[in-house]
Amino acid sequence: MSAKRRVRHGIVFVLSAPSGTGKTTLTHRLLRRVPGIRFSVSCTTRAPRPGERNGVDYRFVSPGRFAELRRRGEFLEWAEVDAAGYGTSRRRLERHLERGEDILLDIDTQGAAQVRRKIPDSVLIFLLPPGPGALRRRLRHRGTDPAVMARRLRLARREITRCGKYDYLVLNDRLERAYRDLEAIIRAERSRTRRQRGEATAIQQAFRTEARRAAPGSRRTDP
Protein backbone atom coordinates (compact mmCIF):
# COMPACT_ATOMS: atom_id res chain seq x y z
CA MET A 1 0.00 0.00 0.00
CA SER A 2 1.40 3.39 -0.91
CA ALA A 3 0.99 6.43 1.31
CA LYS A 4 -1.29 9.16 0.09
CA ARG A 5 0.90 12.20 -0.33
CA ARG A 6 -0.40 15.47 1.04
CA VAL A 7 0.34 18.80 -0.59
CA ARG A 8 2.52 20.71 1.85
CA HIS A 9 2.11 24.43 2.35
CA GLY A 10 4.64 26.46 0.41
CA ILE A 11 7.59 28.24 2.01
CA VAL A 12 8.28 31.97 1.77
CA PHE A 13 11.96 32.69 1.09
CA VAL A 14 13.09 36.30 1.40
CA LEU A 15 16.32 37.40 -0.28
CA SER A 16 17.71 40.83 0.58
CA ALA A 17 20.92 42.49 -0.53
CA PRO A 18 22.38 45.91 -1.33
CA SER A 19 22.18 46.98 -4.96
CA GLY A 20 25.12 45.56 -6.92
CA THR A 21 25.63 42.47 -4.73
CA GLY A 22 24.54 40.02 -7.45
CA LYS A 23 21.06 39.25 -6.16
CA THR A 24 19.35 39.38 -9.57
CA THR A 25 21.88 37.02 -11.19
CA LEU A 26 21.55 34.50 -8.35
CA THR A 27 17.77 34.75 -8.34
CA HIS A 28 17.54 33.96 -12.06
CA ARG A 29 19.85 30.98 -11.61
CA LEU A 30 17.78 29.61 -8.72
CA LEU A 31 14.56 29.89 -10.69
CA ARG A 32 16.10 28.03 -13.64
CA ARG A 33 17.66 25.21 -11.63
CA VAL A 34 15.46 24.59 -8.59
CA PRO A 35 11.99 23.17 -9.32
CA GLY A 36 8.94 24.18 -7.33
CA ILE A 37 9.95 27.75 -6.54
CA ARG A 38 8.35 30.87 -8.01
CA PHE A 39 9.45 34.47 -8.06
CA SER A 40 7.14 36.99 -6.42
CA VAL A 41 6.74 39.88 -8.85
CA SER A 42 6.56 43.07 -6.77
CA CYS A 43 4.68 46.25 -7.62
CA THR A 44 6.83 49.34 -7.90
CA THR A 45 6.44 53.00 -8.73
CA ARG A 46 9.92 53.36 -10.21
CA ALA A 47 10.50 53.47 -13.95
CA PRO A 48 11.56 50.27 -15.76
CA ARG A 49 15.28 49.82 -16.29
CA PRO A 50 16.64 48.65 -19.66
CA GLY A 51 15.60 45.05 -20.31
CA GLU A 52 12.98 44.88 -17.54
CA ARG A 53 9.53 43.61 -18.51
CA ASN A 54 6.26 44.54 -16.89
CA GLY A 55 4.71 41.57 -15.10
CA VAL A 56 7.97 39.61 -15.24
CA ASP A 57 10.55 41.64 -13.34
CA TYR A 58 8.11 44.04 -11.65
CA ARG A 59 4.55 45.27 -12.01
CA PHE A 60 5.08 48.94 -12.80
CA VAL A 61 2.30 51.12 -11.41
CA SER A 62 1.72 54.83 -10.87
CA PRO A 63 2.22 56.35 -7.42
CA GLY A 64 -1.55 56.90 -7.21
CA ARG A 65 -2.32 53.25 -7.97
CA PHE A 66 0.31 52.12 -5.48
CA ALA A 67 -1.22 54.31 -2.76
CA GLU A 68 -4.68 52.89 -3.52
CA LEU A 69 -3.46 49.28 -3.23
CA ARG A 70 -1.75 50.14 0.03
CA ARG A 71 -4.90 51.73 1.48
CA ARG A 72 -6.94 48.64 0.55
CA GLY A 73 -4.51 46.37 2.39
CA GLU A 74 -3.49 44.54 -0.78
CA PHE A 75 0.19 44.36 0.16
CA LEU A 76 1.72 41.75 2.42
CA GLU A 77 4.59 44.19 2.81
CA TRP A 78 5.55 47.50 1.31
CA ALA A 79 8.42 49.92 1.62
CA GLU A 80 9.87 53.06 0.11
CA VAL A 81 13.40 52.58 -1.17
CA ASP A 82 15.44 55.21 -2.99
CA ALA A 83 12.31 57.40 -3.44
CA ALA A 84 10.26 54.58 -5.02
CA GLY A 85 7.49 52.41 -3.59
CA TYR A 86 7.69 48.60 -3.61
CA GLY A 87 5.02 46.15 -2.47
CA THR A 88 4.18 42.42 -2.48
CA SER A 89 0.67 41.28 -3.41
CA ARG A 90 -0.83 39.31 -0.53
CA ARG A 91 -3.43 37.47 -2.64
CA ARG A 92 -1.04 36.26 -5.32
CA LEU A 93 1.42 35.00 -2.72
CA GLU A 94 -1.26 33.12 -0.76
CA ARG A 95 -2.57 31.39 -3.89
CA HIS A 96 0.85 29.97 -4.70
CA LEU A 97 1.54 28.89 -1.12
CA GLU A 98 -1.77 27.02 -0.89
CA ARG A 99 -0.77 25.04 -4.00
CA GLY A 100 2.44 23.96 -2.27
CA GLU A 101 4.69 26.26 -4.31
CA ASP A 102 7.62 27.96 -2.61
CA ILE A 103 7.90 31.70 -3.17
CA LEU A 104 11.06 33.79 -3.47
CA LEU A 105 10.72 37.45 -2.50
CA ASP A 106 13.38 39.94 -3.59
CA ILE A 107 12.78 42.72 -1.06
CA ASP A 108 14.69 45.09 1.19
CA THR A 109 15.23 44.90 4.94
CA GLN A 110 12.10 46.96 5.71
CA GLY A 111 9.92 44.53 3.77
CA ALA A 112 11.69 41.50 5.24
CA ALA A 113 10.86 42.67 8.77
CA GLN A 114 7.18 43.00 7.82
CA VAL A 115 7.11 39.53 6.27
CA ARG A 116 8.68 37.99 9.37
CA ARG A 117 6.03 39.59 11.60
CA LYS A 118 3.17 38.37 9.40
CA ILE A 119 4.65 35.00 8.37
CA PRO A 120 6.88 33.86 11.28
CA ASP A 121 7.79 30.66 9.40
CA SER A 122 9.35 32.60 6.51
CA VAL A 123 13.05 32.09 5.76
CA LEU A 124 15.16 35.24 5.59
CA ILE A 125 18.44 35.21 3.61
CA PHE A 126 20.81 38.17 3.35
CA LEU A 127 23.35 38.34 0.52
CA LEU A 128 26.55 40.09 1.55
CA PRO A 129 29.03 41.79 -0.81
CA PRO A 130 32.74 41.20 -0.07
CA GLY A 131 33.11 44.83 1.03
CA PRO A 132 32.46 48.46 0.06
CA GLY A 133 35.27 48.52 -2.51
CA ALA A 134 33.87 45.53 -4.40
CA LEU A 135 30.38 46.99 -4.29
CA ARG A 136 31.62 50.34 -5.60
CA ARG A 137 33.44 48.61 -8.48
CA ARG A 138 30.34 46.63 -9.42
CA LEU A 139 28.16 49.74 -9.44
CA ARG A 140 30.76 51.63 -11.48
CA HIS A 141 30.91 48.74 -13.95
CA ARG A 142 27.14 49.12 -14.44
CA GLY A 143 27.68 52.74 -15.38
CA THR A 144 25.86 53.99 -12.30
CA ASP A 145 25.73 57.77 -12.00
CA PRO A 146 28.11 59.01 -9.24
CA ALA A 147 25.31 60.65 -7.25
CA VAL A 148 23.17 57.52 -7.48
CA MET A 149 26.20 55.40 -6.53
CA ALA A 150 26.84 57.47 -3.42
CA ARG A 151 23.18 57.13 -2.40
CA ARG A 152 23.20 53.36 -2.94
CA LEU A 153 26.40 52.93 -0.93
CA ARG A 154 24.83 54.85 1.97
CA LEU A 155 21.77 52.62 1.72
CA ALA A 156 24.00 49.53 1.60
CA ARG A 157 25.72 50.54 4.85
CA ARG A 158 22.34 50.91 6.54
CA GLU A 159 21.00 47.59 5.20
CA ILE A 160 24.10 45.63 6.21
CA THR A 161 23.68 46.73 9.83
CA ARG A 162 20.39 44.79 9.84
CA CYS A 163 21.73 41.52 8.45
CA GLY A 164 21.90 39.98 11.95
CA LYS A 165 18.10 39.70 11.96
CA TYR A 166 18.23 37.21 9.07
CA ASP A 167 18.29 33.40 9.33
CA TYR A 168 21.14 32.98 6.86
CA LEU A 169 24.00 35.09 5.56
CA VAL A 170 25.50 34.25 2.16
CA LEU A 171 28.73 35.92 1.05
CA ASN A 172 28.88 36.58 -2.68
CA ASP A 173 32.62 36.76 -3.20
CA ARG A 174 32.40 33.94 -5.75
CA LEU A 175 29.16 33.60 -7.70
CA GLU A 176 29.15 29.80 -8.03
CA ARG A 177 29.82 29.25 -4.33
CA ALA A 178 27.14 31.76 -3.36
CA TYR A 179 24.68 29.95 -5.62
CA ARG A 180 25.49 26.57 -4.06
CA ASP A 181 24.94 28.04 -0.61
CA LEU A 182 21.55 29.47 -1.62
CA GLU A 183 20.39 26.22 -3.17
CA ALA A 184 21.53 24.26 -0.09
CA ILE A 185 19.48 26.56 2.16
CA ILE A 186 16.34 26.02 0.10
CA ARG A 187 16.73 22.23 0.02
CA ALA A 188 17.50 22.03 3.74
CA GLU A 189 14.49 24.18 4.67
CA ARG A 190 12.22 21.98 2.56
CA SER A 191 13.42 18.95 4.53
CA ARG A 192 12.75 20.35 8.01
CA THR A 193 10.68 17.96 10.11
CA ARG A 194 7.89 20.48 10.73
CA ARG A 195 7.48 21.04 6.99
CA GLN A 196 7.39 17.32 6.21
CA ARG A 197 5.08 16.33 9.09
CA GLY A 198 2.05 15.78 6.87
CA GLU A 199 3.86 13.44 4.50
CA ALA A 200 5.60 11.65 7.36
CA THR A 201 2.23 11.07 9.07
CA ALA A 202 0.79 9.56 5.88
CA ILE A 203 3.78 7.22 5.51
CA GLN A 204 3.58 6.18 9.17
CA GLN A 205 -0.10 5.40 8.70
CA ALA A 206 0.70 3.26 5.66
CA PHE A 207 3.18 1.22 7.71
CA ARG A 208 0.62 0.74 10.51
CA THR A 209 -1.99 -0.40 8.01
CA GLU A 210 0.46 -2.83 6.44
CA ALA A 211 1.39 -4.23 9.86
CA ARG A 212 -2.26 -4.86 10.74
CA ARG A 213 -2.85 -6.64 7.45
CA ALA A 214 0.22 -8.84 7.96
CA ALA A 215 -0.59 -9.73 11.58
CA PRO A 216 -1.48 -13.43 12.35
CA GLY A 217 -5.16 -14.05 11.87
CA SER A 218 -5.73 -11.05 9.66
CA ARG A 219 -7.48 -11.47 6.33
CA ARG A 220 -5.00 -10.52 3.61
CA THR A 221 -6.38 -8.67 0.64
CA ASP A 222 -3.21 -8.25 -1.39
CA PRO A 223 -3.80 -8.77 -5.12
Query: Domains (ranges, CATH) in the chain?
Result: 12-192 (3.40.50.300)
CB 5 within 8 A of CB 198: no
pTM: 0.85
Alpha helical stretches, state H, 52-131: 63-71, 90-98, 109-118
CB 189 within 8 A of CB 123: yes
CB 34 within 8 A of CB 42: no
| Dist CA 192 CA 185 (whole Å) | 11
152-179 CB burial, b ≥16 within 10 A, e <16: bbebbeebbeebeebebebebeeeeebb
One pLDDT digit (tens) per residue for the chain, 223 residues:
444 555 678 999 999 999 889 999 999 999 999 999 999 999 999 999 888 999 998 999 999 999 999 999 999 999 888 789 999 999 999 999 999 999 999 999 999 999 999 999 999 999 999 888 888 888 888 878 888 888 889 989 999 999 999 999 999 999 999 999 999 999 999 999 988 888 888 889 999 999 888 887 665 555 4
| Order of strands, sheet of 75-81, starting from the edge strand that comes earlier in the sequence | 59-60, 43-44, 84-89, 75-81
Integer angstrom CA distances of residue 42 from 53, 54, 187: 12, 10, 24
